[in-house]
């Protein structure tokens, strides 16, 4: 029914919004005052009941009583009436939140200090209503709204609505808060009936379940009259002292054994609430230390796990890196015989004497050293057959026989075209005095040498750390000619 009325204008100034909750007799909507442009809440008597005069009079009486209750924990009334369309309504303050029933269904039991505070606020609202002679008569978790504005704030709804017994409800859950005297039908509900209902609501907030449940309405009603609820200690262990005893008193079967007024109920809750708040404060500090301890233990366990995992997963080359039984070592392209190494090791050391006795020293003067006997000047400079003949393209220089402008003057050209040049004098070479050469025979044309001259050896000497002697000026070479050998010698 309700959604069809969304957007409807009531009394020419209230536009209905979303349906907040639907009841047996009354529906609650979010709405907005069109002229003042501010939010409100509207309770509408169902149109099917608005045609009954008794229902309308009862609705107006409840609205008038509620408008006289000045308490922050009761949904106040600012206006009520009916319009031309036949809508019977009452205007209330705007609110938003969830009912206790919805919170328990979503989150389970309340914290102890929150449960005690909510019950105390409900008792304050009931005390204000009872002072005006108005009994709620249908208090349940479905008509207690937790708004949470500025902390925990509870508001009581539906004063004067019919209880499940009067409505002959077949839902066992709606009978979970009805007082035993109402279930027996022997007495009319009074303040103590509201206290019993409030005690059942507090029990459910602490335990997460109502004190009595059953599959049939009659089963639940019988438990209200004959059985005691399960101790709260069976549901939780953080109850403050005095709360269990106060709960047993509010749920007594005999109305005379309960708190006689809602104000007395609130007063009994006051010291329990102080203890509950202190326990909650200590619990928050303990939770901080517990959280820090848990984090520290977790970090320690994680570190130990990583250390253990690293230690057990280490690689041991002697056990892990085992050779493949079917594998072969890398082989060279040619088998390694060691012949080349042996031949290198057998080679004599390269010394001056070995060079003097080598084929290089025995090379004929008319050929270039190379070992192949090839003489590039044998054909007068003509390339051998098959060689590419490239004509000269640049300047041609003719070297005259016997000398060359490109060679030092002391170099002598041989018939084969090779220039022989004297080796330069090594200034650092050691000078050894030599005896005077023996005089030649009578047939010799050699000019006798009267003074000994030092002979410069052509073999270089490895320099030592001692300073070398200063070089002496060599005399001009004297050429002698032997009559027997016709051989020229140059003596320094």
Domains of the chain with bracketed CATH:
2-92 (3.30.200.20), 98-278 (1.10.510.10)
Q: What is the pLDDT of residue 206?
A: 92
Taking the chain (492 residues) in runs of 10, the rounded mean pLDDT of each run is: 75 90 84 92 89 88 84 89 91 86 90 89 92 87 80 81 75 88 79 93 92 90 90 86 87 92 90 67 57 78 77 63 68 69 73 62 56 62 66 62 69 74 65 55 47 48 48 47 43 42
What's the confidence (pLDDT) of residue 442? 46
Residues 6+ apart with CB under 8 A from 332: none
pLDDT of residue 458: 46
What CA–CA distance (Å, rounded) separates 239 from 395? 123
| Residue length of the chain | 492
Give me Rg for the CA atoms of the chain: 64
Q: What is the pLDDT of residue 394?
A: 60
**Number of Cβ within a 10 Å radius of residue 213:** 13
Residue 2: per-residue pLDDT: 46
Q: Nearest CA to 163 among 196, 132, 203?
A: 196
Q: So what's the pLDDT on residue 205?
A: 92
Please answer whether residues 139 and 154 qualify as being in contact, where contact means their C-beta atoms are separated by less than 8 angstroms. Answer: no
The C-alpha atoms of residue 305 and residue 430 are separated, in whole angstroms, by 82
Give residue 421's pLDDT: 80
């Amino acid at each position: 029914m309700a959604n069809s009325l969304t957007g409807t204008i009531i009394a020419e100034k209230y536009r209905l919004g979303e349906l907040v909750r639907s009841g047996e007799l009354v529906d609650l909507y979010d709405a907005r005052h069109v002229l003042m442009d501010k939010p409100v809440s509207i309770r509408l008597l169902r149109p099917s009941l608005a045609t009954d005069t008794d229902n309308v009079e009862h609705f107006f009486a409840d609205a008038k009583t509620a408008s006289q209750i000045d308490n922050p924990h009761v949904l106040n009334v600012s206006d009520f009436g009916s319009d031309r369309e036949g809508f019977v309504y009452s205007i209330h303050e705007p609110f938003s939140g969830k009912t206790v029933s919805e919170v328990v269904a979503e989150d389970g039991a309340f914290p102890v200090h929150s449960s005690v505070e909510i019950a105390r606020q409900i008792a304050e609202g009931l005390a204000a209503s009872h002072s005006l002679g108005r009994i709620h008569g249908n208090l349940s978790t479905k008509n207690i709204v937790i708004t949470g504005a500025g902390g925990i704030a509870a508001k009581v709804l539906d004063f004067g609505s019919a209880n499940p017994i009067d409505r002959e409800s077949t839902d066992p859950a709606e009978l979970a808060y009805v007082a035993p005297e109402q279930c027996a039908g022997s007495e009319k509900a009074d303040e103590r009936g509201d206290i019993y209902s409030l005690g059942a609501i507090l029990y459910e907030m602490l335990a997460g379940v109502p004190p009595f449940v059953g599959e049939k309405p009659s089963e639940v009603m019988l438990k209200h009259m004959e059985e005691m609820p399960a101790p709260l200690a069976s549901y939780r262990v953080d109850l403050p002292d005095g709360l269990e005893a106060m709960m047993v008193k509010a749920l007594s079967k005999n109305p005379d054994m309960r708190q006689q007024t809602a104000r007395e109920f609130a007063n009994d809750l006051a010291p329990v609430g102080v203890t509950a708040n202190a326990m909650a404060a200590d619990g928050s500090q303990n939770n901080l230390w517990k959280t820090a301890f848990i984090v520290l233990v977790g970090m320690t366990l994680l570190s130990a796990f990583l250390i253990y995992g690293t230690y057990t997963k280490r690689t041991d080359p002697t056990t892990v890196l085992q050779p493949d039984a079917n594998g072969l070592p890398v082989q060279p392209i040619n088998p390694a015989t060691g012949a080349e190494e042996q031949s290198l090791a057998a080679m004599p050391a390269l010394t001056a004497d070995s060079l003097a006795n080598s084929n290089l020293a025995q090379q004929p003067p008319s050929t270039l050293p190379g070992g192949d006997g090839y003489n590039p000047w044998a054909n007068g400079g003509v390339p051998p057959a098959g060689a590419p003949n490239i004509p000269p393209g640049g300047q041609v220089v003719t070297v005259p026989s016997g000398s060359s402008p490109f060679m030092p003057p002391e170099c002598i050209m041989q018939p084969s075209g090779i220039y022989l040049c004297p080796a330069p004098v090594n200034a650092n070479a050691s000078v050894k005095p030599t005896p005077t050469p023996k005089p030649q025979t009578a047939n010799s044309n050699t000019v006798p040498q009267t003074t000994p001259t030092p002979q410069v050896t052509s073999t270089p000497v490895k320099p030592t750390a001692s300073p070398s002697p200063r070089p002496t000026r060599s005399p001009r070479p004297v050429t002698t000619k032997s009559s027997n050998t016709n051989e020229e010698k140059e003596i320094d």
